[in-house]
Amino acid sequence: MLKNYKMIGLICIVCLAGVSAFYAKAAISPETDPEAIYQQTLRDPATLISAAEQLYHIERELSTDRRPVKKEAVQVKGIYMSGRVFHSQLLFNNLVKIVDDTEINALVIDVKDDDGFLMANFETPLIKAVNARVHKGQNVENNMDILYEKNIYPIARIVVFKDPTLAESKPELAIRKSDGSLWRDRKGLAWVDPHNQQVWEYAVSVAKEAAQLGFREIQFDYVRFPTDGDVKYANYPFADGQSKEDVILKFLTYAKKELEPFNVFVAADVFGLTTLTLDDMGMGQKYEKIITQVDYICPMVYPSHYGTGNYGFTNPNAYPYEIVKNALTDGLKKNGTVPVIIRPWLQDFNLGSPSYGIAEVRAQIKATYDTGLNEWILWNAGNRYTKEALLKE
């Protein structure tokens, strides 16, 4: 038994190094320009994990079907939680305390992240066949119990087409180059072909598992074609002549129908610029089409991600209130009579000048309310939030 603990300890030291590397390369937002990644410096939350906690690796016990009995809408004020943080007792409790102490009432938690890691060892045959890597640490059901006991609204973030794990495990499903090798984005990550029905089934299978864990909403991220890297060399083996925007629309239509028996809401993350542009931006995210198949549309209206001249500003990052208000106003115009709720992702990280703090975060929240909207979510890749910008409970 002692030898086993020593071996576990050695494995965990290696895992800690991997965790550190993960946070060092964490993306700025659910979807962002890869060049921006290298400009963000975040304190590494992994350094807060104690050695004793790293030894606490247990098997998940996913025996109970906890899908919601009925769909009950909540006006969400949320923050993002990565899969690694969910599995750290200390870091999980830190974010739960933010919910306890402030106006925050929801957590958007990675169930399948943009590396293809899963939250738990799911039993669906299609998922097991992929042999995806799984975050380890906390007992998943125990953590879900905590969220329910505290009346925290759980949202499952599921990254769809940026899935290097699925692409490497089943290269026949991946985007290819003309020589047949895997196409990779600027970070060297492989993507799966959005045209392929089996890819759709895999993502939705994960969504169904999330519903059975007790998540009340499924939020699909990276519901798009790749935009960075040498996209001109990306070949889609299963392309059938459909436009990119129709492929994305059909995936969401399929997902929504498949999830109906699970009593969960469906949401989609989209680029902030989709509320402004008239086309699909070359990646399949046509705002007017996506809103017809989701309950919530979540544009990432980070001021730092708007370019010079957008909405008339030379440095949009310096005008958090104005950028968010203009972007959401445009979104509402596009909504028309479609019964979809806009729930924006807001910026709680630094990228460019000025640095973001209490005033900048609060300005974005005010802009959301002044547009007539009631819901929002804060993004920080390192899960470190400006608590002082949040109203006390």
The predicted-structure confidence for 318-333, as pLDDT tens digits, reads as follows 999 999 999 999 999 9
Query: Mean pLDDT in the chain?
Result: 88
pLDDT for position 250: 98
pLDDT for position 31: 55
Q: What pLDDT digit, counting tens, does each position of 343-384 carry? A: 999 999 999 999 999 999 999 999 999 999 999 999 999 999
**What mean pLDDT is predicted for residues 283-290?**
98
Domains of the chain (ranges plus CATH)? 2-389 (3.20.20.80)
Give the Cβ contact number of residue 212 at 10 Å: 17
Whether residue 226 is predicted with pLDDT greater than 80 in this model: the reply is yes
Whether residue 24 is predicted with pLDDT greater than 60 in this model: the reply is no
Whether residue 179 is predicted with pLDDT greater than 90 in this model: the reply is yes
C-alpha–C-alpha distance, residues 5 and 55, integer Å = 8
Whether residue 26 is predicted with pLDDT greater than 50 in this model: the reply is no
Q: What pLDDT digit, counting tens, does each position of 44-77 carry? A: 334 444 444 444 333 334 456 888 888 999 999 9
Token pair 């890597």 in the structure block, residue: 133
Confidence of residue 300 (pLDDT cuts 50, 70, 90): very high
pLDDT for position 68: 84
pLDDT for position 45: 38
Whether residue 143 is predicted with pLDDT greater than 50 in this model: the reply is yes
Burial class (CB in 10 A: 0-12, 13-18, 19+), 335: middle
pLDDT for position 123: 85
